[in-house]
């Protein structure tokens, strides 16, 4: 066979399957056969590992995302540990020294607790007392007792320290009249009320007093206070109360207020108690004694007023008049406070102006 024009040699038929023509659909030179699948290239590798579902990340191969397979577990017997090295003698010496030091410190603390240091005191030592022989006939020594001695001076007087509370007292007074003789009857009844009120307090305090009352309608000579006239201020002297109607009515102008007259009587009655029980004598020489005696007497008048208030003839008006008179006319310092204190507590020790 000759070459075709163009210089190309003629192609020889190739052994093997024939190739289908492009348009006829059958093989040249052979009977038609079933179509065959194309053979994959020899270099392709089939991955038989399980397929991972879901999207891949950054187009990495799936086999690089799987963890490496675990290595085989191999049991190995424990390696025996070597025994600890023996301790050196110096260790035991140090341990013994530490124990001895602790024991010594504990012993020293115990000795210091039992045997405390003492210091010398100047003076002469007394001889040691011998133990009495209890088998003999002499009785054992009696323990000494200390009694509370009363305080000297007016501060320790029972009229200043007694806690006896004055009992309620009903006072009967006549109708008040400004005439001299009528005032005399009024003061006689007032004395009965005061005696009844103070009797229980004086008995409990261990005191004894007998107060006299004199209504001055003419000049009277007293044992130690000189002359008292109807125009003199009312006062007490040597345990006797001297009431002066003319002075109270005309000089002080107390008017028809019986409580004002009654208040003067209660204060002078308390001053007479101070003199009768010896308190006035104890106050001699004490600084500001006269002012303190006046304060205490005002407070003691409040004690009697509190016991009589609202009972019998001593109504609220008379009680108010007592307080008004004793806290305003010839009154000592703090007269109202002292009067109120006695009125509320109704005990002599509430009126102690000496402490």
Reported pTM: 0.59
Evaluate whether 274 touches 293 at the Cβ level (below 8 Å). Answer: yes
Which helix (H) or strand (E) segment holds residue 264: the answer is helix 258-276
Buried/exposed code over 62-82 (b: 16+ C-beta within 10 A; e: otherwise): eeeeeeeeeeeeeeeeeeeee
Task: Indicate whether 58 pLDDT > 80.
Answer: no
Q: From CA 182, how far away is CA 45, in angstroms rounded? A: 153
Per-residue pLDDT tens digits for 2-34:
444 444 444 444 444 444 444 444 444 444 444
| Euclidean distance between CA atoms 270 and 339, whole angstroms | 12
Q: Is the pLDDT of residue 52 over 50?
A: no
pLDDT digits (tens, 9 = 90+) for 280-303: 999 998 999 999 999 999 999 999
Element (H, E) at 186: helix 180-205
| Tens digits of residue pLDDT in 204-213 | 999 999 999 9
Q: What is the average per-residue pLDDT within 101-123?
A: 65
Tell me the three state secondary structure of residue 237. Answer: strand
**pLDDT score of 243 more than 50:** yes
Q: What angle do CA 177, 258, 256 make, to 5 degrees?
A: 60
What distances in angstroms separate CA 273 from CA 89, 109, 155, 161, 268, one per listed residue?
100, 69, 15, 14, 9
Give the per-residue pLDDT at 13: 45
How high is the pLDDT of residue 151?
57
Q: Mean pLDDT across the chain, nearest whole number?
A: 78
pLDDT tens-digit map of 312-342 = 999 999 999 999 999 999 999 999 999 999 9
Q: In sequence order, which residues have a C-beta less than 8 Å from that of residue 241 and are 6 or more positions away?
A: 191, 211, 212, 213, 214, 234, 235, 265, 268, 269, 271, 272
Q: Are 241 and 272 in contact (CB under 8 A)?
A: yes
Q: Name which residue leads in pLDDT, 289 or 89.
A: 289
The structural domains of the chain, with segments of one domain joined by +, span: 156-351
């Amino acid at each position: 066979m000759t070459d075709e024009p163009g210089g190309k040699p003629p192609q020889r038929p190739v052994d093997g399957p024939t190739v289908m023509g492009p348009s006829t659909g059958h093989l040249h030179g052979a009977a038609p056969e079933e179509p065959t699948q194309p053979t994959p290239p020899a270099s392709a590798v089939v991955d038989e590992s399980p397929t991972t579902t879901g999207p891949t990340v950054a187009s990495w191969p799936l086999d690089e995302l799987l963890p490496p397979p675990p290595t085989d577990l191999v049991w190995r017997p424990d390696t025996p540990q070597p025994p600890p090295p023996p301790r050196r003698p110096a260790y035991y010496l140090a341990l013994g020294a530490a124990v001895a030091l602790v024991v010594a410190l504990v012993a020293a603390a115990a000795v210091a607790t039992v045997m405390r240091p003492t210091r010398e005191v100047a003076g002469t030592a007394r001889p040691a007392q011998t133990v009495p022989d209890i088998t003999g006939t002499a009785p054992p020594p009696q323990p000494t007792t200390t009694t509370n001695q009363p305080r000297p001076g007016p501060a320790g007087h029972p009229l200043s320290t007694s806690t006896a509370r004055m009992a309620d007292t009903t006072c009967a007074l006549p109708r008040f009249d400004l005439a001299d003789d009528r005032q005399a009857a009024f003061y006689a009844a007032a004395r009965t009320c005061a005696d009844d009120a103070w009797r229980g307090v004086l008995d409990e305090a261990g005191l004894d007093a007998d107060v006299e009352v004199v209504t001055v309608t003419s000049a009277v000579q007293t044992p130690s206070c000189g002359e008292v006239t109807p125009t003199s201020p009312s006062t007490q002297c040597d345990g006797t109360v001297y009431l002066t109607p003319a002075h109270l009515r005309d000089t002080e102008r107390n008017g028809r207020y019986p409580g004002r007259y009654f208040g003067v009587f209660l204060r002078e009655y308390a001053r007479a108690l101070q003199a009768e029980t010896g308190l006035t004598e104890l106050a001699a020489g004490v600084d500001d004694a006269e002012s303190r005696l006046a304060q205490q007497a005002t407070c003691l008048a409040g004690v009697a007023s509190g016991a009589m208030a609202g009972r019998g003839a001593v109504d609220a008006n008379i009680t108010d008049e007592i307080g008004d008179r004793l806290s305003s006319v010839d009154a000592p310092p703090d007269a109202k406070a002292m009067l109120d204190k006695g009125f509320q507590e109704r005990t002599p020790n509430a009126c102690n102006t000496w402490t």
